Structure 1
């Protein structure tokens, strides 16, 4: 029994509004062009770079934070690109594709 069923038992006369019925698909703007996922080495350390997002900057920052949290790695948002420490191209591409993004792998 989930929360909605419990609330329905407590308040049988309440009818959910249309806003409550609709499910929220994604809070980040999805684009038509693919996001570029590439691999580089800087100062001998591997990094993964995501570029090509043309939505709002705050959405891209939110996406960066979510990726860093899910992968448990460090990273930053600089110059309209996300830089993740380590080579996580496959995992990042899987996460982005599950969210509905198109991703293009570049290099290696």
Structure 2
């Protein structure tokens, strides 16, 4: 059985209507997180993989970009650039950039222009 001191350390603010998501490590808003900058970029094989997926989206296509060797802030910025290049919406979730629509060729061309090694994955 856990002691009350252990349980007290688990509690904390997760979301605030003023600031949005809160970092569990430093308990600051994610945009102002001080411990996020110390996280290294994800390791991989250096190849960015672009695929098209429709699973769980009511048959609508989404272009997925995986394996980009940058940190979270740079990934958000790259996601913005790719969405603007395709003229559509999207998001960045769990290190994967999602661009709404079937824009595989356009995304691959944009990434190659920025110097990334890009491969098409999936069918």
TM range (shorter): 0.5 to 0.7
- Any gaps of 5 or more consecutive residues in structure 1? 1-30
- Any gaps of 5 or more consecutive residues in structure 2? 1-43
TM-score where L is the length of structure 1: 0.68
Residues 48-72 of structure 1, C-alpha deviations (whole Å, 9 max, x = no match): 0001123211111100001111211
Residues 32 and 102 of structure 1 are in contact (CA less than 8 Å); yes or no, is this contact kept in structure 2? no
Q: Higher helix proportion, which one?
A: 1
What residue is the counterpart of 1:81 in the other structure?
A: 96
Residues 43-95 of structure 1, C-alpha deviations (whole Å, 9 max, x = no match): 21000000112321111110000111121101001111000001100010001
TM-score where L is the length of structure 2: 0.60
Higher relative contact order (CA 8 A, sep 6+): 1
Q: Number of aligned pairs?
A: 78
RMSD over equivalenced CA pairs, Å = 1.4
Rg larger in 1 or in 2? 1
Query: What SS does structure 2 have at the residue aligned with 1:45?
Result: coil
